[in-house]
């Protein structure tokens, strides 16, 4: 979906409960999330605009760039899920057309520049890809 300015907008099932949970996760962010968000929030990586703790269906994404349908997930923190939960979540997101990048918290802590380079490379790749439809989170009421 495009806004009147030509920017892509995401659709998602925003319920009061999900919105409040996303707000709580933003308030309770980890130091690792804070460090990465500081670099993502103002378009410092390839001018891509990210949101943090973005509701998507029954999930909340750590960081999400709606224009590119790119999710950046951190593992090993306060909201780490079991591996099987991650696989299920990633498959659902892929079916919706979302590209997922996952990093361990230790990667962000020990090699933030390397993480940012990997994100930048994926952004460049997605910008060159043919236009595709954007995810519609509200296809399912979960």
In a domain, 62, yes or no: yes
Residue 110, in any domain of the structure = yes
Q: What is the pLDDT along the chain (142 residues), one digit of tens a residue?
A: 333 333 333 445 556 666 665 565 556 678 899 999 999 988 889 999 999 988 888 888 999 999 999 999 999 854 445 566 788 889 999 999 999 999 999 999 999 999 999 999 999 999 998 776 666 655 443 3
120 is a domain residue: yes
In a domain, 9, yes or no: no
- Is residue 3 domain-resident? no
- The CATH code of the domain that includes 32 is 3.40.960.10
Structural domain total, the chain = 1
Residue 122 zone, left/alpha/beta (φ > 0; ψ -120 to 50; rest): alpha
Query: Which residue in the block uniquely carries the two structure tokens 């998507």?
Result: 56
3-state secondary structure of 42: coil
Name the pTM for this structure: 0.74
Q: Has residue 4 been placed in a domain?
A: no
């Amino acid at each position: 979906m495009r806004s009147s300015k030509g920017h892509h907008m995401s659709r998602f099932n925003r319920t009061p409960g999900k919105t409040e949970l996303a707000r709580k996760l933003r308030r309770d962010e980890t130091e690792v999330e804070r460090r990465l968000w500081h670099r993502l929030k103002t378009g410092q990586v390839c001018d891509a605009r990210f949101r943090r703790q973005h509701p998507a269906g029954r999930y909340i994404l750590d960081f999400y760039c709606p224009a590119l349908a790119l999710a950046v997930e951190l593992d090993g923190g306060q909201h780490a899920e079991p591996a099987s939960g991650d696989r299920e979540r990633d498959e659902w997101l892929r079916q919706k057309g979302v590209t997922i990048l996952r990093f361990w918290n230790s990667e962000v802590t020990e090699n933030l520049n390397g993480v940012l380079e990997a994100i930048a490379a994926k952004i460049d790749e997605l910008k060159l890809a043919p236009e595709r439809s954007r995810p519609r989170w509200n296809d399912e009421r979960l």
